Amino acid sequence: MRYVSTRGHAAQPTFSDILLGGLAPDGGLYLPAEYPQVSGAELDLWRGLSYADLALEILKKFATDIPAIDLKALTDKTYRAEVYRNTRAGESAERITPLHVIEQDGDKTLLLQALSNGPTLAFKDMAMQMLGNLFEYTLDKQHAELNIFGATSGDTGSAAEYAMRGKRGIRVFMLSPHLKMSAFQTAQMFSLQDENIFNIAIKGVFDDCQDMVKAVSNDLDFKSRYKIGTVNSINWARVVAQVVYYFRGYLDATTSNDQKVSFTVPSGNFGNICAGHIARMMGLPIDQLIAATNENNVLDEFFRTGIYRVRKSAETYHTTSPSMDISKASNFERFVFDLLDRDAPRVKALFAKVETDGGFDLSGAPGSDGDEFRKIAQFGFASGCSRHEDRLATIRDLHARYGLTIDTHTADGIKVAREYAKPGVPMIVLETALPAKFNETIREALGADAVRPAGFDGIENLPQRFDIMDADVSQVKAFIVAQTGL
């Protein structure tokens, strides 16, 4: 398996070559030169597999340069009940990502796929735990070190830090928008006292943090000298690890391969739903992939109009589903690459236009940049938007009708999923996090606190360790240099 850049860089590296990095040298994102295909016979064989063994089968198709015996050791180490233990009543930790039927309306079925049983109570753990073990394995082979530089709107940071804490040869430098995460999210990250973890609170929004990660990734000299890697969803290995739970969800929701399902995915940075796109391109029988956005509805606007219009920092709303408070979706370029039939020069030109003009237009209207919007349905994509009053209403409705408490992002997903549910096609909503992570809004909606898994009581009161900085990449670089001692 070889990989190509969305912007046309000539080299075609292997999985291990791109594992520790982020952007390609030309600023593009990596994708397989060709998507591996999954046959019906394979799907039949995979139905009875454990999550770890299913992850092994899928990773083998992408990480062809890592011996299968080593991959098996890594998936077995990662996907264990001991790691994914924060289950609700009635769930089995052995299932890792159990499906729950939320509601049945005639032959319309709405299901929730539990993805938040990991150590930080968010779906990011599903990939980040695997990424941490892959990093440690590769660095050990190379006798090397890595300085991870990432950005988070809330959940990526804690998932990365919990996956990397104490790992040999790894430091983590994580940017987050100052005072724009929930109290629980902030405490999860800032209360870590591990010497290899560095939290930097940036005076700005998530997009400012993400822009600095990309700026450092594009500074090839600095990246090489200070051994910079990334855990953001621009990292290909993380996207691949997320592909697994789409297969698990499909296999658990169906009994034969002639059935289709749809997925609704709360989406801000397009990484989670991009994994669904890849699963569909591999041949998984997905009917629709529905992006559920919050008030920061850049993706919803594109999938409704063909216009990709990035908002400025001042136009990015701080909402009660803060992990989606993003207006520049870094993984969106991967889908656009496929939408444009892998025309790398055009992709490069369009994303250059994002930087100069704030977006591009594929609606086909006079003066637009193309007419590929007409092809959106061929890829199964649709979208919807949810706002604060919608998520409050959805949280209250599910609690009243089913006794189920969900987090704010998952509420966005369920609200939009209900708009797209079809007879005979199960609709799976991907859970984002456990509700305890966003207790302020749960209390507003229900008048009571969300239940916390064991071990998380009083986390907000723990001592916190972090640095506050301006949105200045040179200041952040200087901090990295000072901490590495290189």
Buried b (16+ CB within 10 A) or exposed e, 373-407: beebeeebbbbbbbbbebbbebbebbbeeeebbbb
Active site residue 124: yes
The end-to-end CA distance of the chain, in Å, is 34
Give ∠ CA 158-351-342 in degrees, rounded to 5: 95
CA atoms of 86 and 227, how far apart (whole Å): 34
Catalytic residue among 124, 223, 348, 477: 124
Containing H/E element for 415? helix 408-420
Q: Could you tell me where the beta strands, DSSP code E, fall in 377-477? A: 381-385, 427-430, 467-470
CA atoms of 380 and 341, how far apart (whole Å): 16
> Both tokens of residue 119?
């150590």
DSSP 204: S
For residue 443, the number of C-alpha atoms closer than 13 Å in the C-beta half-sphere is 7
DSSP 435: G
Q: Look at strands 99-105 and 108-113 and give their pairing.
A: antiparallel
Say if CB 325 and CB 209 are below 8 A apart.
no
**Which residues sit opposite 31 in a β-bridge?**
4
CA atoms of 20 and 229, how far apart (whole Å): 5
CA atoms of 410 and 430, how far apart (whole Å): 7
Compute the chain's Rg from CA coordinates.
Answer: 21
Give ∠ CA 261-263-265 in degrees, rounded to 5: 175
H-state helical runs in 235-377: 236-253, 271-281, 298-305, 332-339, 344-357
Q: Could you tell me where the beta strands, DSSP code E, fall in 338-472? A: 359-361, 381-385, 427-430, 467-470
Write out the catalytic residue numbers.
124
